[in-house]
Amino acid sequence: MKRTKAYGLMAEFDSVQTLLDAANRTREAGYKKIDAYSPFPVEGLAEAVGFHHDEVPLVVLIGGLIGGLTGYLMQYWISAVSYPVNVGGKPYHSWPAFIVVTFEMTILFAGISAVLGMLALNGLPMPYHPVFNVPRFAFATKDRFFLIVFSSDPKYNPTEVRRFLEGLRPRSISEVPD
- Residue 37 contacts residue 146 (beta carbons within 8 Å): yes
* C-beta of residue 110 within 8 angstroms of C-beta of residue 67: yes
Burial 26-60 (b: 16+ CB within 10 A, else e): beeeebebbbbbbeeebeebeebbeeeeeebeebb
pLDDT tens, position by position, for the chain (178 residues)? 555 689 999 999 999 999 999 999 999 999 999 999 999 999 999 999 988 778 999 999 999 999 999 999 999 999 999 999 988 888 999 899 999 999 999 999 999 999 999 999 988 998 888 999 999 999 999 999 999 999 999 999 999 999 999 999 999 999 999 8
What domains are defined for the chain?
A: 1-39+145-178 (3.30.70), 56-121 (no CATH)
Q: For residues 37 and 143, what is the distance between their CA atoms, to the nearest angstrom? A: 11
pTM given for the model: 0.75
User: Which residues are paired to 9 by β-bridges?
Assistant: 149, 175
